[in-house]
Chain A
Amino acid sequence: MELLNLIEKIDQADPEFKDRISPRRDAIKNMTSFGSKVAIAALPVFFASLLKKAYGQTLSTTTVATLNFALKLEYLEAAFYNAGAASTAVQAGLSATEKNYLTQIQAHENAHVKFLQGVLGTSAVAQTTQGQNGAYDFTGGFNTTTNTVTNAGPFADVLTNSATFLKVACAFEDTGVRAYKGAAPSLLGQQVPLTAALNIHSVEARHASAVRQLLFGRGITIKPWITGANDTGITQVNGNYAGEDATVQGGVTITSLPGVSGSVSTNAATESFDQPLDSTTVAGLVAIFGVR
């Protein structure tokens, strides 16, 4: 049943959830008998009160804002992969392996949209508020003054050329990783939303690695991890990688640390730590696609 699945889900994110509801676990222990005694229709109300008991509040304003920003990014990514899947020209240029990768990523991004919409409920920002009545400009030419799609941005052939499509995908995934990472501190202490965000964050990183593997397969010199700053060879996305070449982490100079032989190399230092981006910077970077 949905409700019990949900409790199980929360319990995964927050192992102490059951204790939190009731230190002696009575509430959960009695769930089954409770369910049999009370009308099914009353269960959501019961569950809402459990959540209130457990966390003392509903989602805070900050949490709603953070998750809505994540939702906007997921809307963009989902729409992007949906458009790629719908483009005969892009599909014609992809190998079977590439199609397999992109189909999986597309499914995940659409699932992330559904998940965040579900968590946010009525607080979820509508997709139609994005771009021009919900339509994006994947060429990166969105007019942010008039809020219109021009399709005349730097990635003009993104939906007709599979090579361009993969490059933009790479930038989206790497930027998505940075965005979730940058948002995490605003969810500090909010166990369920933070864990959910982290569980999406790492999937975006899996995607980024996978798309980079595809680019490598096309003969581009690129690794699954980010070396230095912008290592994609696409100068238009320099801003998306700005700061990735940091070698000092939390006050520790990584290149001064002992490596296998000598100190940790600059490449290894930059590759081993992905850098966050704050939401304002991310918003500025994705505005050209219509995220607003």
Chain B
Amino acid sequence: MKNETQLFESGKLARRSFLRYAGAGIATAGVLAMGCHKDNPVTHTGIDIGIGDIGILNYAYALEQLEAAFYTQVASSPYSGISATETARLTDIRDHEVAHREFFKAALGTSNINVGSLTPDFSSINFADRTSVLGAAKAFEDLGVQAYNGAGYLIQSATYLTLAGEIVSVEARHASYIRDLISNGSFADNTILDANGMDQSKAIKDVLPIANTFLKTKVSASNYGYVSA
């Protein structure tokens, strides 16, 4: 792990990855995936995640900011009738999401060029109402799982892939718990899994439009086929 330690210092890995991406290493599968979008105009509204591993990290950073902001509000204004166990667990989840957010911030260092401080828009959520809060929590967690699973193949660095894996399974643990709070036994039911008993990954272009409904600052991914209106 000492290599990773060195590489992560001051976002060096971030820059190195970016340089590798911009340079000769471009003839990789990831670029094949992006090549078909290369003609998209760079101009767009809102904030763009960028490209390559840095793009994926900024994407994850954006989603974690959203989740952390949500649970911070849940913890500071608990819904009516919340139990002691629910309070403890939801506070745990808040702390996990904050840790994830701060991790990406630190890992990105100066490569965090643009998704720095997103302004959430939770106007559609009634924080006083258990059903509304847990419904939103479930949507965030399931979306998070699908987003990480869908972006995994775009990650070029084994270190980043492992880190994404370390986080996504925690999101899945959250999703499982929240789902059981809403309806006991729905932790992995067929509304979220496919017939193979597997989660269903979502592409960046399908995740961001949903995430954007909870954001005042819209996030785009012009290199991955999505530009916010």
Contact A198 B94 (CB under 8 A): no
Query: Closest A-chain residue to B196, C-beta based?
Result: A115
B210 contacts A by Cβ under 8 Å: no
Q: Could you show 7 A-B contacts with beta carbons less than 8 Å apart?
A: A15-B203, A111-B197, A198-B201, A250-B8, A251-B1, A257-B99, A276-B162
What's the A-B contact tally at a CB cutoff of 8 Å?
236
Q: What residues make up the interface of A, taking CB atoms closer than 8 Å to B?
A: 12-16, 19-20, 23, 97, 100-101, 104-105, 107-112, 114-115, 177, 180-182, 184-185, 188-191, 194-196, 198-210, 213, 223-225, 248-252, 254, 257-260, 264-265, 268-269, 271-276
Query: Closest B-chain residue to A207, C-beta based?
Result: B188
- A275 touches which of B96, B149, B166, B180 (Cβ 8 Å): B166
Contact A271 B96 (CB under 8 A): yes
Query: Closest A-chain residue to B184, C-beta based?
Result: A97
- Collect the chain A residues with CB atoms within 8 Å of residue B98's CB: 259-260, 264, 268
Mask: chain B, 188-227; 1 = CB below 8 Å from A; 0 = not: 1100010111111101010000000000000000000100
Contact B102 A184 (CB under 8 A): no
- Collect the chain B residues with CB atoms within 8 Å of residue A258's CB: 102
Given contacts A184-B162, A198-B201, A276-B166, contact A209 B5 (CB under 8 A): no
Instruction: Tell me the minimal C-beta distance from B198 to chain A in angstroms.
Output: 4
Contact B92 A268 (CB under 8 A): yes
Contact B166 A249 (CB under 8 A): yes
B165 contacts A by Cβ under 8 Å: yes
Interface of B is mostly: helix
Q: Within the assembled complex, what's the spacing in Å between the Cα atoms of A200 and B72?
A: 30
- A206 touches which of B7, B106, B175, B184 (Cβ 8 Å): B175
Contact B172 A205 (CB under 8 A): yes
- Collect the chain A residues with CB atoms within 8 Å of residue B203's CB: 15
Q: Within the assembled complex, what's the spacing in Å between the Cα atoms of A268 and B99?
A: 7
Contact A264 B169 (CB under 8 A): no
Contact B172 A202 (CB under 8 A): yes
